[in-house]
Structure 1
Amino acid sequence: MNGPASTGRPVIGICARTAPVTFQGSDMVVSFALQAHLGFLAAAGCTPLLLPLLPGVEALADRIDGLLIPGGPDLDPTLYGEEPHPGTWAATPDADRVELGLIRAALDAGLPVLGICRGMQLLNVLHGGSLHQHLPEVTGHDGHRPDTPSFTLGTQPLKLEPGSRIAALLDEDEPVTACHHHQAVNRLGTGLTATGWAADGTVEAIEVTDHPFAVGVQWEAGFTPDRRLHQALVHAAGRR
């Protein structure tokens, strides 16, 4: 890998997100990453690298040592063979396809991969799975994404599969998530194992079977002080 050879620190790629902003009076679209992801990864001993979701970015899989797939907008439902629900906000269908190609390249290269929220959903769809497009219609409540005027995290107690990677990482008797999502895994993709669930049965963690480290979590890692998942990703990248 080019990262450790040149800097002594593993390089973790972060899939960029885009958003319109107004800066110094001008409207523009920017690529960005949540600062907490950058800070947590850097503090764990890696060099974070923002990866724009442009055609050809998958070629960078041989220049990084791990991949973080953060939260973001809903996926294009045509990727899993469905029409959009009225509540689905699929803002970046072209970027969805580019991102799936990057994730596929990272997995094929054996890179450690951590998917957060949308990132976990991308892992599932990549493996042929599908999504519940509006979770409150399935669970009967909005506890996973509270219906409030401002951004509010929900809390969900977790049941973890004993012996799973995610159970070893969290190492708690009664872990609780901080979540903000209205979509979730429906049909689990081939080659994936569900390893965490909310009390209402919603899948909250998945792992790619027979991969050294490829984990997806549905909760908002990065919006709380908990750095364990970021540290685990960097540790796995450093082992390579």
Structure 2
Amino acid sequence: MQYNDGRFGHQEQSMTKKPLIGLSGRRGAGQMLGAPRGFADAPLDIYMSEYATSVQRAGGVPVHVALDCVAEEIVEHLDAVVFSGGEDVDPRRYGAAPGPHTAAIDPHRDRFELELFHAAMARGLPILGICRGAQLINVARGGSLIQHLEIGSGQSHASYAYPRAHRVHAVTLEAGSTAAALYGASVTVNSFHHQAVDRPGDGVIVTGRADDGVVESFELAGLPVLGVQWHPEVFGGDPVFDWLLDTVRTRATTQNPPRSTIGAEEAA
């Protein structure tokens, strides 16, 4: 399977086993499932199935990573990590205070995923951040977030009026970036987010924006890390998951993460 210039098409499998791809999730309570009395407050780990389906389709083995794991221990068993969507990242993590539109915050998830990100980075694992996951990566690198995007302004990013797989607006991508290698000069995406990257963190290079200027994709200079603001897992075979698995295979063969042409000078 090839996309555009074939840079991230499937490579011959050089690993003896399929790569294990860690997927982050969220925590809820039994009452969400109508649990009987006595179990309404029982903790649940929740994982949206389409992340796992997308990883499996791209040739990986999805592994749901519980919030109770020790980050430094679990990354020893993983080949890559996907940070999924979900709740707002705590604004105090980037020097702000919760505003009037701040949704539910899970401090436990924030803490664990930040630890998981740094542990994965320390091992050089490929990382994909989706929606909240992309925002978390930017915060982990010292960046900040726009706390609220109003429905009805710009591209109305926070509207949930459309089906999740409906593509509602275009994203223009920077030539030479990982995202442009995957999608071309632009891609039309879905949109379900009331927050977005504001100030890019250390090494975060913005590579895609919506027509209203909202950041939609970024990468880390010289590192196998990609963040997208939309939800590619719902499209049934999005090339970003092929990029993730191909990057894992390249790393297994060379032990040197591939470098993007974007930001190569800064990373040198």
Give the TM-score, by structure 2 length.
Answer: 0.80
Q: Matched residues, percent identical?
A: 34
Confirm whether residue 102 of structure 1 aligns to residue 111 of structure 2: no
For residues 175 and 55 of structure 1, the distance between their equivalents in structure 2, rounded to whole angstroms, comes to 36
Mapping of 1:53-64 within 5 angstroms? 53-54=67-68, 56-64=70-78
Contact 2:54 2:237 in 1 (8 A): no
Structure 1 counterpart SS, 2:128: strand
- 1:190 equivalent in alignment to 2:202: yes
User: C-alpha separation between the residues in 2 aligned to 1:22 and 1:128?
Assistant: 37
Which of 246, 253, 257 lines up with 1:235 in the alignment? 246
* Residue of structure 1 equivalent to 2:28: 19
Q: For residue 168 of structure 2, what is the aligned residue in structure 1?
A: 155
2:232 alignment partner, SS class: coil
Shift of 1:147: 5.8
Matches of 2:77 and 2:165 in 1, distance apart? 37
Query: Which of 229, 232, 235 pairs up with 1:221?
Result: 232
State yes or no: 1:81 paired with 2:95.
Answer: yes
Count of residue correspondences: 233
CA deviations on 1:45-71 (whole Å, 9 max, x unpaired) are: 111111112262332112100000010
Go from structure 1 to structure 2 and tell me whether the alpha carbon gap of 1:63 and 1:151 turns closer, same or farther (over 3 Å shift): closer
* Residue equivalent to 2:180: 167
Matches of 1:120 and 1:149, distance apart in 2:
22
Give me the whole-angstrom Cα distance separating, in 2, the residues matched to 1:150 and 1:174.
Answer: 21
Q: In structure 1, what is the Cα distance between the partners aligned to 2:99 and 2:109?
A: 20
Q: Give the CA deviation at 1:146.
A: 1.3
What root-mean-square deviation, in Å, do the aligned CA atoms of Structure 1 and Structure 2 show?
2.3
Q: 1:191 & 1:118 partners in 2: Cα distance?
A: 19
Tell me, yes or no, if the aligned pair for 1:121 and 1:184 is still in contact at 8 Å: yes
Which of residues 205, 208, 217 in structure 2 aligns to 1:205?
A: 217
TM-score (structure 1 length as normaliser): 0.89
Structure 2 contact 52–62 (Cα < 8 Å) conserved:
yes
Give me the whole-angstrom Cα distance separating, in 2, the residues matched to 1:97 and 1:29.
Answer: 17
1:117 aligned onto 2:131: yes
Contact 2:160-2:192 within 8 A present in 1 as well? no
What is the rounded CA distance, in whole Å, between the counterparts of 2:69 and 2:165 in structure 1? 34
Look up the match of 2:51.
37
Amino acid of the structure 2 residue aligned with 1:133: Q
Structure 2, unmatched stretches of 5+, are 1-13, 253-268
CA distance in 2: counterparts of 1:78 and 1:144, whole angstroms: 23
Render the CA deviation track for 1:73-113: whole Å, top value 9, x for unaligned: 00111000111011111421122011101001101211000
Distance 1:47 1:89, change over 3 A: same
Task: Classify the secondary structure of the residue corresponding to 1:193.
Answer: strand
